[in-house]
Structure 1
Amino acid sequence: MLLYMSNSAPKPQSTPLHSVSVAGAVVREDGRVLAIRRADNGTWEPPGGVLELTETVEDGVRREIYEETGLKVGVERLTGVYKNVTRGVVALVFRCHLEGGNEQLSDESTAIEWLTPAEVSDRMAEVFAVRVLDALNDEVAPSIRTHDGRQWLTEHAAAS
């Protein structure tokens, strides 16, 4: 048995206290973006939710959008990574396109609408509006932003 010798006491391993969520900015050909009004708090947001342990990120985006809206989408690209330092949530947002399905409400959504970018800014809280507007940006590098649930703490684009 090999023992590691150190002058300091071993530190207990910490368990990460983060969850990973995914969301889809589904963009129609006319430039409008899919939004839901959440059943739990009445806010307008892009459809999304917590990634399950056994699914791929892309499958999670497709599942969440389908569960909340009844729509099937294709995932195009990662457009942003957002961390809420207060709640320990890392959100991955993807630009998506509509592939089919029929709009239908769920236990998680009380309304579904296709919003213009101006309507996104008017209806969504800033931390969600920025995610959708970042997805409409044609830049290839995803945005990386950190917030505390109310205001942005950092803002920069990922290196290409």
Structure 2
Amino acid sequence: MTDQPLIAEVSQKALIRSPADELLVMQVDADTWELPGGRMGATEAPIVGLKREVTEETGLSVTVGEPIHTAAWRNDVGRGRFSVVYYCEAETTDVELSDEHCDYEWVSPSTARDAFLTVSIHQTAIDRLLAAEESPIGQTAATDD
């Protein structure tokens, strides 16, 4: 048994792939890019919450696949955080920005990982996506690391 269980705020992010096999990255400010998504409502089903966040931030309707990466940590002030990154697909690249972001780009997975995203959770999710594409099974999976 764990002495101190993690009491955490849950966030969900979408690794959205376009029909051209590019990923969507969103610009928060001059120095910060992220994946679309956000916090779940207290009574919201996970997939419903993720689709709501994606639609609010991008105007896109996505097909949500399996979780590709999970992570838990405590932030700078000791608050618990738990994040799930889902693999998603979009049929269009017509993004309508909300006021939460100032720009967006559709880029290759390696460009998203290496040139835009600085959050290790997002980078690891892309690494897992690329690794799954190289495997004979081609499936993505959530992990517990």
Q: What band does the TM-score fall into relative to the shorter chain?
A: 0.7 to 0.9
Aligned to 2:39: 50
Provide the rounded CA distance (Å) in 2 between the counterparts of 1:53 and 1:136.
33
Aligned length: 131
Runs of 4+ in 1 over 6 A off after TM superposition: none
3-state SS of 2:144 partner: strand
The alpha carbon displacement at 1:115 in A equals 1.5
Q: 1:15 to 1:143 in 2, by over 3 A?
A: closer
Determine which structure has greater relative contact order: mean sequence separation of CA pairs < 8 Å that are 6+ residues apart, divided by chain length: 2
* Deviations 1:31-87 (CA, angstroms, capped at 9, x unpaired): 211110115x74111101111112111111111111111111010111111112334
Q: Does 1:123 align with 2:116?
A: yes
3-state SS of 2:65 partner: strand
Counterpart amino acid of 2:97? Answer: L
Counterpart amino acid of 1:37? Answer: Q
Counterpart amino acid of 1:143? Answer: T
Please give the residue correspondences for 1:3-152 in structure 2 after superposition, counting only pairs within 5 Å.
17-39=7-29, 42-86=31-75, 87-99=79-91, 102-120=94-112, 121-127=114-120, 128-138=122-132, 139-145=139-145
Identical aligned residues as a percent:
27
Provide the rounded CA distance (Å) in 1 between the counterparts of 2:27 and 2:81.
20
**Greater CA radius of gyration, 1 or 2?**
1
Unaligned stretches of 5+ residues in structure 1: 1-13, 146-160
Alignment TM-score, normalising by the size of structure 1: 0.71
Provide the rounded CA distance (Å) in 2 between the counterparts of 1:133 and 1:34.
15
Q: Residues 18 and 88 of structure 1 are in contact (CA less than 8 Å); yes or no, is this contact kept in structure 2?
A: yes
**Normalized per residue, which structure has more strand?**
1
Q: 1:16 to 1:130 in 2, by over 3 A?
A: closer
Aligned-residue CA RMSD in angstroms?
Answer: 2.3
Q: Residues 25 and 33 of structure 1 are in contact (CA less than 8 Å); yes or no, is this contact kept in structure 2?
A: yes
Provide the rounded CA distance (Å) in 2 between the counterparts of 1:129 and 1:15.
26
